[in-house]
Amino acid sequence: MTVKINTKYGQIDISNNVIATVVGGAATDIYGIVGMASKNQLKDGMNEILNRENYTKGVVIKQNNGDIVVDVYIIVGYGVKMSEVSRNVQNSVKYHLKQYLGTQAKSVNVIVQGVKILED
């Protein structure tokens, strides 16, 4: 599935893998985020942090009537304020989608899949 954007020059199709990579990169740059998690941990058998090649397993892109909705599955560090980290992820994802792909997300839903103790 792709996201379709109409411009005055024609239609642009952006793959979900590209969007997932941009979203995952934006999310993992936020302080307090340990990494991305799989949306289906039981099905995928993954209880670890996803690397850049697997960001598509931790990001869900939905398109409804031209509006893009993004679900981001993350693992946060122990001791951080989840509401603040989630808000920062939402803002960062929206900014990066606008800057890099020229599209806007109607909403960014952040789902915390786990908490991990940060090692010094």
CATH number of the domain within which 111 lies: 3.30.70.1350
Number of domains in the chain: 1
Residue 103 has pLDDT above 60, yes or no: yes
Dihedral, CA of residue 90, residue 93, residue 97 and residue 103, to nearest 10: -20
pLDDT digits (tens, 9 = 90+) for 80-99: 999 999 999 999 999 999 99
Closest CA relative to residue 70, chosen from 56, 50, 82, 85: 56
pLDDT at residue 5 is higher than 90: no
The 8 Å CB, 24+ separation contacts for 83-88 are 84/32, 85/30, 85/31, 85/32, 85/33, 86/110, 86/112, 88/30, 88/31, 88/32
Q: What is the pLDDT of residues 49-91, one digit of tens each?
A: 777 677 788 899 888 877 889 999 999 999 999 999 999 999 9
| Containing structural domain, residue 100 | 2-116
